[in-house]
Amino acid sequence: MRILIVGAGIAGLTAALALLRDAHDVEVYEQAPRLAELGAGVQISANGARVLFALGLEDAIRAVWCEPAGKEIRLWNTGETWKLFDLGAESVARYGAPYFMIHRADLHGVLIDAVRALKGDAIRLDARCAGFDDDGRSVTLHLASGARVTGDAIVGADGVHSRIRNILAGDDKPEFTGCMAWRGLVPAEKLPAHMRRPVGVNWVGPGGHVINYFLRGGTIFNFVGIVERDWRVESWTEKGSREDCAADFAGWHADIHAIIRNIDQPYKWALLGRTPLTRFSSGRATLIGDAAHPTLPMLGQGANMAIEDGIVLSRCLSAYDDATTAFARYDAARVARTAKLVQGANEAAKRFHNPALADAAGARAYVDTEWSEARTKQRYDWIFEYDATRVAI
């Protein structure tokens, strides 16, 4: 089939690669004039890694990733530390695939190279989608330039402010969650020596949490700090100041302030919640990635879901002769899982920011219960065990 994908983010490129490997003809229409990703990290758990490796990207990813030995929980003010889970060999033994951290630009670059190796001109830049028609036999993509492109099916991979979702499902009504996310990168050599350990850390505290981990073989440190505070601009590129960020973490541990002091440029992103859709597809059009199921970042699963979507979508389009049936099967495979992940991310905020974490004694009791080995397994195993390369379609 000739598949038109709107958006060259992680979702659109993973789907393009999977479809090209399955011998479909694919074109990706990206609004940006050049391909670039943000300066930020992303955590890829076993469910996402399994797909990327199945798509032949293992060597390219290993060259740029950072594989932590494990994850820790740390208390916001005292820095008291608990093991959350082991990663490294343990993730591979338990889930059959690694858990790794990667710079978004590096993952994006690996996907772009792989797509272009199969079809050199697959990615069309400066090509903003304005709308589309579906006449039941084919689809026509309308570009803002006035150009029209015809294909067998259209895939909206156009992110959280998706035009295609808007056409398929109407205006969504995002609700401010009361939280905003700070993000920034720090050159590793600027951190105190005791912080340069190969572990990912989830700092938890009343009204906020911080996620940090290393990227690019340990040379860059990624910071995401989420606080309960008013800020309504949902954009990855809105700049903030180190002073403002530090003020949001007043009273937090010195290690947090050592990070914030050394962030190159902090950015701030409003966290808006959206009710999960009950279907992603209509006729010959469907949605993947954040366009389908925008989520809060609390479980680190937005990009992982996008990657899972890509391969399931490709499997469906290869298994069924017509796009409408393929997309109905894709919905059947994906809607419930992604809604459960979106819901899980909503609930995680309450745990990470719980008032019980305010003082050390209350925090110990809370952490021992909420992050016990049994609870942690119950919360994460179903996420990491999912095999998008084999799930029933």
Ligand X SMILES: Cc1cc2nc3c(=O)[nH]c(=O)nc-3n(C[C@H](O)[C@H](O)[C@H](O)COP(=O)(O)OP(=O)(O)OC[C@H]3O[C@@H](n4cnc5c(N)ncnc54)[C@H](O)[C@@H]3O)c2cc1C
Question: Smaller CB distance to ligand X: residue 203 or 366?
Answer: 203
Count of C-beta atoms within a 10 Å radius of residue 26: 25
Asked if 302 is part of the footprint of ligand X (rule: CB under 6 A), the reply reads yes
- Judged by CB under 6 A, the chain residues 144 through 183 that form the site for ligand X are 157-160, 163, 181, 183
CA dihedral 354, 358, 360, 363 (to 10 degrees): -10
Site for ligand X (CB under 6 A): how many residues?
34
Known catalytic residue: 213? yes
What's the gap between Cα 263 and its chain centre? 22
Q: Which of 213, 267, 330, 386 is catalytic?
A: 213
Can you list the positions of beta strands (E) in 47-162? 70-75, 81-86, 100-103, 123-124, 129-134, 139-143, 148-151, 153-156
Min. distance of Cβ 368 from ligand X in angstroms?
26
Q: Which SS3 state, helix, strand or coil, does residue 5 take?
A: strand
Determine which residue in the list 4, 12, 67, 335 makes contact with ligand X, applying CB under 6 A.
12
Which span sits near ligand X by CB under 6 A: 10-18, 274-282, 345-353, 369-377?
10-18
Q: List, in order, residues 6 or more apart from 333 with CB less than 8 Å away.
A: 312, 316, 391, 392, 393
Q: Does 248 bind ligand X (CB under 6 A)?
A: no
Q: How far is CA 325 from the centre of its chain?
A: 27
For ligand X, the binding residue among 107, 123, 129, 153 (CB under 6 A) is: 129
Burial class (CB in 10 A: 0-12, 13-18, 19+), 109: middle
- The per-residue DSSP string of 126-145 comes to S--EEEEEE-SS-EEEEETT
- Residue 132 CB, nearest approach to ligand X (Å): 11
Interface with ligand X (CB under 6 A), residue from 3, 4, 6, 323: 6
- Which residues in the 39-68 window bind ligand X by CB under 6 A? 42-43
Residues at the contact surface with ligand X, assessed by CB under 6 A: 6-12, 29-32, 42-43, 128-129, 157-160, 163, 181, 183, 224, 269, 289-291, 297, 300-304, 306
Which residues are identified as catalytic? 213
